[in-house]
Amino acid sequence: MISAAMRFDVPATSANHVRQLVEATNTRAAVHGLTAYSLDISAPFLADYKDPFDGRVVGQRSMVTVTVFGEIPRHSGWTVVARLDHDEEGETLLSLFPGLPEQLAAEASAQRVIANFCHGCKVARHRTATYLARHDSGEYRQLGTTCVEPYTGLPIKGLEALWRFGKLKDSDWDDDSGEQGYPADLRIPVAEVLRVTAAIVAQDGRYYSRAEEWKKTQPTADGVEAYFFSRKAPAEWRAGIDAEPDATATAAAVREWAVQGYGSLNDYRHKVGQLAKVETVAPRHLPTLVSAIAGWHRDQEKAAAERAAQNSQPQGTKGERLTVTATVTTVIELEERFYGYHAQRRRLIKFQDTSGNVYVWFSSAATVPDKGDEVELTGTVKDHSTYGEVTQTVLTRCRIKERELAAA
């Protein structure tokens, strides 16, 4: 008996389809009295996926190794080892029986064949295909389709059914229905996503959300997606991102911060933590994971501000008019005041200068700066107070002049 074995990798999402095809092939072969082949599918594993256009590693796919094995049909010492397809130009294409052992495959490939010839009937006529049969004695015979069964005792239709196993191995299992024509099951390593994010933020000066597209700047998430998926992105641009020296360290810090939020009551922190704690992420979740760097930066700035606030000192004297450059650290909505039927909106705004000094303004202005804005603050000192062991300078009659946001 000659054993045949075919081993090849397919996407894990295609495993069930492979199983169905093997079962259908075995069923068809059994109708003609041939023994079924066995199937083994390995546990899933991650494998690099390369862009078929430029060979660049884009991400990873979950794959399985498929092994189809069994005994090559044999009767009275005869085995059909190859099919010979003859075209109109006289060329012959040899297709070995699926899973044929290497030594036997080399022996069969070396046989001299004659186009359209059959050793069985010895009738000269046009044939699109003939078969190469081998006897245990080492003798080879080239047989026409209708002569295979009478000469070898092997059912040609059953053999043709088993030949379908070869198509399984040679099939294109890629599914290009995903992001920009990439496979739908493509996954991107989390560490790589965060590294690229950190590099782009370092180059752009800060994180840009998609809500800031009106500023005519590319959102950070779009830049990250372009790095992985755009086939038009310049190689020099990617090389510049890869060359950012601190990106890997920043990415590790962002990931640690994100994972700490897993299980949080805050839906966003929990979602980001859920994405960061695994090894790979689906392309559709890239924008959420990318945004983690903004949250990490906010927490870093908040912690730095709190440390600096411990050194906050009272500024100016009551009634004195001060002008300082400061950053908005807090904006809190207060209960409205009503004057007749008119409601006055009130907000508590806190600022901090570069020395860590904290300023407070109870504002009733129609418009106020946003948290994180760097402004030129002018106001009259109303009082000095302490909140949570932090000394504050309370201002009134404030005027705000926005400044250009300094690059991070």
**Using CA atoms, how far apart are residues 275 and 259, in angstroms rounded to an integer?**
8
How does pLDDT run across 221-279, given as a tens digit for each residue? 999 999 999 989 999 999 999 999 999 999 999 999 999 999 999 999 999 999 999 99
How does pLDDT run across 12-41, given as a tens digit for each residue? 999 999 999 999 999 999 999 999 999 999
Q: Radius of gyration over alpha carbons of the chain, in Å?
A: 36
Give one word for 99, left, alpha or beta, with left for phi > 0 and alpha for psi -120 to 50: left
Phi first, then psi: what are they for 359, rounded to 5°? Answer: -120, 145
**Using CA atoms, how far apart are residues 398 and 276, in angstroms rounded to an integer?**
43
Which residues 6+ apart lie within 8 Å of 142 measured at CB? 84, 113, 114, 117, 118, 119, 130, 131, 132, 133
Which residues 6+ apart lie within 8 Å of 339 measured at CB? none
**Using CA atoms, how far apart are residues 214 and 217, in angstroms rounded to an integer?**
7
**Using CA atoms, how far apart are residues 89 and 286, in angstroms rounded to an integer?**
53
0.85 exceeded by pTM:
no
Residue 54, CB-side half-sphere exposure with 13 Å CA sphere? 11
Domains and CATH numbers, the chain: 1-71+155-185 (3.30.70), 78-153 (no CATH), 187-302 (no CATH), 311-402 (2.40.50.140)
Is residue 407 pLDDT above 60, yes or no?
no
| Confidence at residue 406, expressed as pLDDT on a 0 to 100 scale | 46
How does pLDDT run across 155-194, given as a tens digit for each residue? 999 999 999 898 888 787 776 665 567 888 899 999 999 9
